[in-house]
Amino acid sequence: MSQPNSNVVVIDANVMIAICAKEQGKQITAKNAIEDYVVKGWMFSAPNVIVAEVMYILCLKLQDGSLTSALYEKAIENFYDYAINFLPPPTGEASLIKRAREIRQGYGCSRSSDSLYIALAEELTASYHVELLTFDTGFINQAAKNAPTVKINLLPV
């Protein structure tokens, strides 16, 4: 059995967006997954890029009318409540850059942020049992090809 706090889940931005923006068809799945990790005592982590990704998408949802001003403000508050509990990369954000570049090779630039999540999960595997939680199927092949020690927990849509 794992030691207390020996498990870390790296949270992809799409999971936070699903919860905070209350995305139909994803919110309940994402929330249940997070609650399951909490009950099991897992810690949470994410690279800093999650802040820019989530805030950008929430802003787009505000602009396109998917979120009202009130719902947008609540989504930002909810995101903050989750994000303050995320562990930072153990050796700092800069430590992910070179490895993320290697992981992204062979993929388009749109996978750059994803490679940071994978690099973080890979770095954390040195000290913890790690899973990367996402709705993005692209993580499966990218991790398998470039970081096979990273376990992807792909949430169904």
Are 53 and 19 in contact, with CB atoms under 8 Å apart? no
- Pick from 80, 88, 113, 106: which is nearest to 8 by CA? 88
* CATH, residue 27: 3.40.50.1010
Position 16 in a domain: yes
Question: Measured between alpha carbons, how far is 19 from 44 in angstroms, rounded to an integer?
Answer: 15
Position 2 in a domain: no
The pLDDT tens digits for 30-75 are 999 999 999 999 999 999 999 999 999 999 999 999 999 999 999 9
Q: Where are the beta strands (DSSP E) in 1-150?
A: 7-11, 43-45, 86-87, 129-134
Question: Measured between alpha carbons, how far is 111 from 15 in angstroms, rounded to an integer?
Answer: 17
Position 89 in a domain: yes
Position 39 in a domain: yes
Give CA separation, 27 vs 24, 51, 104, 121, 142, in Å. 6, 18, 28, 23, 25
Give CA separation, 92 vs 26, 29, 116, in Å. 31, 31, 12
Position 1 in a domain: no
Q: Encoding tokens for residue 82?
A: 């989750």
pLDDT category of residue 2 using cuts at 50, 70 and 90? very low
Position 103 in a domain: yes
pLDDT category of residue 12 using cuts at 50, 70 and 90? very high
Identify any residues that bridge with 155 across adjacent strands, giving them in sequence order: none
Position 147 in a domain: yes
Domain extent at residue 105: 7-154
Domain count, the chain: 1
